[in-house]
Structure 1
């Protein structure tokens, strides 16, 4: 049975690399008593598929993962949350079939937070001209909302590189990035995967 989980990644846990998340999720599933399904072959491992990579240091309110388990009950979400490390919280879980995450997800929205309004305004101008794939930018004080196309190719790292090269920021220390939406493009809006 494939279960799609929507979870958030906030606080110091955002420094756990994307590549380590399957191991972390698998351990939490095992500790909560949820029986996982393993791949076949010489080196079996738990079947877990993650959504688009999230760079180290970027927060998220909407990460997704597909996990394969023997059985999923409504109370398993609460049991999993009790065993997840601080900063990770599973918000929703549903049994799913159909398209994989990589084929289901083609849009993302990010909130970029700066130390001053001027930086936000400069960032908005620079990102529109220097980062291909940024579709919509909204400026609100010290914050910029950016909507991008394919989140597997357009990463927040591109924002930081462009802003650093343009002199808006000097490094990751000058900006806080939060992925706020992840999903499918539906007539210009982001339709959540869960």
Structure 2
């Protein structure tokens, strides 16, 4: 890794939590210089614009979430246990350094909906990827006879994502962890309904 690559990675790692907490519009170049200790010129010497930093920060935040979930899911063999691992990750969200400011996909999707097409596209792809992963897990569970054959994998995946992201949104909006816990409790019931 070259010195320029290291500097770029440093900027991404330092600014990613700021973008996740404050959003694209709420994050100023001063925020970026404050958190990195670099000058505006140093940041723009490595990125063409704040947009480029934000897009790289989203990728970094999303990869951290993906790794967190993947590490937890891979511990299990049974499809139902793998689905429960998703719930466990989000149940620990308020205390987790990666997710303490909320889910970066949700944060980005809400903010970028009508204002930042490139960030919106990244959030859309992330949700579609999550849906595909859940559908695959359910279908594998059906093949292994761990999950009811009658289960609608796509409907489950969309409902599951909506519950988790909705719970995260309510927690972040109200500051009440019970809202997240209630949504996750319902997500667990959806999983239970899949079991044979």
Task: Give the TM interval when normalised to the shorter protein.
Answer: under 0.3
User: RCO higher in 1 or 2 (8 Å CA, sep ≥ 6)?
Assistant: 1
More strand by share: 1
Taking structure 2 as the reference length, the TM-score comes to 0.27
More helix by share: 2
Taking structure 1 as the reference length, the TM-score comes to 0.27
